[in-house]
A and B are shown apart, each in its own frame.
Chain A
């Protein structure tokens, strides 16, 4: 192990020491500043430099035996570090906060399951769960059927197929907030003019929900179509030819050959629409902001078109009830986790049977 000269060793140790010194120094300044003492302005830059120099020092560490392990560690570090700080730690805090009276800044006591009990006693929240499940069910069916029909249309022999595919997919490129306001204009100003009425679809809860479904299909149908097109073009040509020689008509080819053969694609599309429909937020916010009055078992509530994700948002920011919102989001998480587990199970089964 004489690969490293004494000078090279000394330099790498010096760099490592310098990095650690910078880090420790920055943390000491942080400690002084946060306890009300002298606030050194360069402490942020010092910390970043410290991290970078320490990484360089670790990288140059004079070892042949462990060099590979060091590289592995350094390669994993950036994503693991950001992931830990933005996902794992906040999630642990979030679940913990749902059992307290946290108000966004401080908490005074642990309240056990009180938030969860309170949440299920709120008609607004129960209503938004019902609305969400209804919306998800409608969307998953409609988007898949429409996407599949569009895919059939876009695999025929008509001219300018490229143009049709691109234009059907176009809405998917635009963010939900912008789309939501565009459609709000169409529902409030254009459709009322065409139908010659005063009231827009968005004012009553029932029609507002239909409006959200319409926008969602418009936004998502083209994307689902693309995936179905990939599935349909993957059906082998000789199978279809054999079917046509045997005298199968178009309907038989579709139901007996095409649909069974694209079963994995159907699974993918179903779960894609399922999770995205559950998480629907942007369009809901921009289009109706959850408004609409409903008589829900004798309780008059005003969030007729509000889905779960938006309800969580409003509980936190309109009602300033952070802990309750946190409890609602934990339930939201559990629902999504169940959906995902079913997804993994069902796609595993498909793989076995293939």
Chain B
């Protein structure tokens, strides 16, 4: 591998890479440029920055942020709460369940639970969505806690739907943690729950990272489940739901839609800039292990 690559080949490769990068980034450029224009500015010239100015940009942004269908800050807060709480609970409960399953893997009940979780990963959301909403309404009415159109309800649903994949990845990892560690702890008089929280859980850091990224990206960008559980016109909306309900009410004004798209993209892009390595690694690990 010590052969030096030919310069001409390198130049061609670089040019190809740049052309593809321009193509891939072009839609992002369109969003930024056109969210700074007026409607007529877009009709005149959607391609170049001509007609884009900062004042229109601020006007468009504030128009979108305060729009009754979008309400960006509220949607942002909902998305953050739903994503963060679901991911944290999935990590904790997933690790707990994964530990129990991997430490009882020779027992029939544990492998039955494990197999059920794995098999359920095939189930598409479409099969369960209608009965899920109907059941949650009934259960909510009965117990007196709102399950539809409510944040605790959707977090509950995410625990159910994310559980299988989380347990699958975590169990696989915990199986590789040497059992001796736990045995010596229990000889020292540590209770099983103490062993888990003090010894096993801290060891799971790398795989918790993977699971956090996979679940976080999924929940943040998910549309169908929140549109069912929260409704397109409900009190609470996640960002994708807010975008859909905004566009549904606003079809023609593209500068406003672009401003909404920009607002919806920015949080994820910022997170990516800071945690690029972790996100890329998490996505790869998730694909290879999952």
A interface residues (Cβ-Cβ under 8 A, vs B)? 26, 29-30, 33-34, 39-41, 43-44, 47-48, 67-68, 71-72, 75-76, 78-80, 82-91, 93-95, 97, 104-105, 150, 153-154, 156-159, 163-179, 181-183, 185-186, 189-190, 193-194, 218, 222-223, 226-227, 230, 237, 240-241, 244, 268-269, 272, 279, 281-282, 285-286, 309, 312-313, 316, 322, 325-326, 329-330, 332-333, 336-337, 340
Contacts A48-B145, A79-B159, A158-B13 given: A218-B24 contact, CB under 8 Å? yes
A83-B130 contact given A30-B143, A333-B122, CB 8 Å threshold: no
List the B residue with the shortest CB-CB distance to A33.
B144
Q: Is the beta-carbon distance between A281 and B224 smaller than 8 angstroms?
A: yes
A80 and B113 contact, Cβ closer than 8 Å, known pairs A218-B24, A227-B284: yes
Show 17 A/B contacts (Cβ-Cβ < 8 Å), sorted by A: A30-B143, A76-B96, A83-B117, A89-B131, A94-B131, A97-B131, A153-B17, A167-B25, A170-B24, A183-B27, A190-B46, A194-B47, A218-B24, A226-B283, A227-B287, A268-B288, A312-B126
Q: Is the CB of B167 within 8 A of A182?
A: no
Instruction: Check if A167 sits within 8 Å of B144, measured CB to CB.
Output: no
User: Size of chain B's interface in residues, with CB distance under 8 A?
Assistant: 95
Q: In the bound complex, what is the Cα–Cα distance between A325 and B280 (angstroms)? A: 37
For the complex of A and B, list the 9 residue pairs with the smallest distance between their C-beta atoms, beginning with the closest: A86-B160, A175-B221, A44-B145, A93-B131, A44-B144, A75-B96, A82-B159, A82-B160, A90-B128
Chain A residues with CB under 8 A of B192: 67-68, 71-72
B residues near A48, Cβ cutoff 8 Å: 145
A167-B130 contact given A75-B100, A223-B283, CB 8 Å threshold: no
- Residues in B neighbouring A186, C-beta threshold 8 A: 26-27, 30
Which of A83, A285, A316 has the most B CB atoms < 10 Å from its CB? A83
- Among A30, A68, A322, the residue within 8 A (CB) of B130 is A322
The interface residues of chain A lying within 8 Å CB-to-CB of B243 are 177-178, 181
CA distance A322 to B79 in the complex (A): 29
Number of A-B contacts (CB under 8 A): 269
In the complex, chain B residues whose CB is within 8 Å of the CB of A167? 21, 24-25
Is B57 positioned at the interface, with any CB of A under 8 Å from its CB?
no
* A330–chain B nearest beta-carbon distance, Å: 6
Taken together as a complex, chains A and B put the C-alpha atoms of A170 and B22 apart, in Å, by: 12
- CB contact between B120 and one of A87, A153, A237 (< 8 Å): that residue: A87
Out of B26, B123, B244, name the residue touching A286 (CB < 8 Å): B244
- Name which of A68, A175, A325 has the most chain B CB atoms within 10 A of its CB: A175
Bound-state CA distance A86–B239 (Å) is: 23
Residue pair A176, B28 in contact (C-beta under 8 Å): no
Residues of B at the A interface (CB closer than 8 Å) are: 1, 3, 5, 10, 13-14, 16-17, 20-21, 23-28, 30-31, 34, 42, 45-47, 89, 93-94, 96-97, 99-101, 104, 113, 116-117, 120-124, 126-132, 134-135, 139, 141-145, 156-157, 159-161, 163-164, 166-167, 191-193, 196, 217, 220-224, 239-240, 243-244, 247, 254, 257-258, 261, 264-265, 268-269, 272, 276, 279-280, 283-284, 287-288
Q: Known contacts being A168-B20, A282-B223, A333-B123, is A226 close to B160, with CB within 8 Å?
A: no
Q: How close is B53's CB to chain A, nearest CB, in angstroms?
A: 19
Asked if residues B46 and A47 are in contact (CB atoms below 8 Å), the reply is no
Chain B min CB distance to A81 (Å): 9
With A30-B144, A71-B192, A79-B97 given, name 14 new contacts (CB 8 A).
A29-B144, A68-B192, A72-B100, A75-B100, A79-B167, A83-B120, A167-B24, A170-B269, A174-B265, A176-B221, A190-B46, A330-B127, A333-B123, A333-B126
Docked Cα-Cα span, A240 to B45, in Å, equals 51
- The answer to whether residues A79 and B163 also contact, given A71-B192, A177-B223 and a CB cut-off of 8 A, is yes
Query: Given the interface contacts A85-B160, A90-B128, does A71 sit within 8 Å of B193 by beta carbon?
Result: yes
Indicate whether A244 sits within 8 Å of B120 (C-beta atoms), given known contacts A86-B161, A176-B223, A185-B257: no
Taking the closest CB of chain A, its distance from the CB of B86, in whole angstroms, is 10
Alpha-carbon gap, A173 to B239, bound state (A): 14
From B16, B261, B272, give the contact of A173 (CB < 8 A): B272
Q: Which of B27, B122, B126, B167 has the most CB of A within 10 A?
A: B126
Choose one: B99, B132, B222; the contact of A175 (CB below 8 Å): B222
Q: Collect the chain A residues with CB atoms within 8 Å of residue B26's CB.
A: 186
A169 nearest CB neighbor, chain B only:
B280
Bound Cα distance A86, B258 (Å): 35
* Complex: A67 Cα to B195 Cα, angstroms: 13
Chain B residues in 8 Å Cβ range of A156: 5, 10, 13
For residue B125, which residue of chain A has the nearest CB?
A279
Distance to closest chain A CB from B223 (angstroms): 5
| B24–A333 CB distance below 8 A | no
From A30, A41, A79, A175, contact of B93 by CB (8 A):
A79
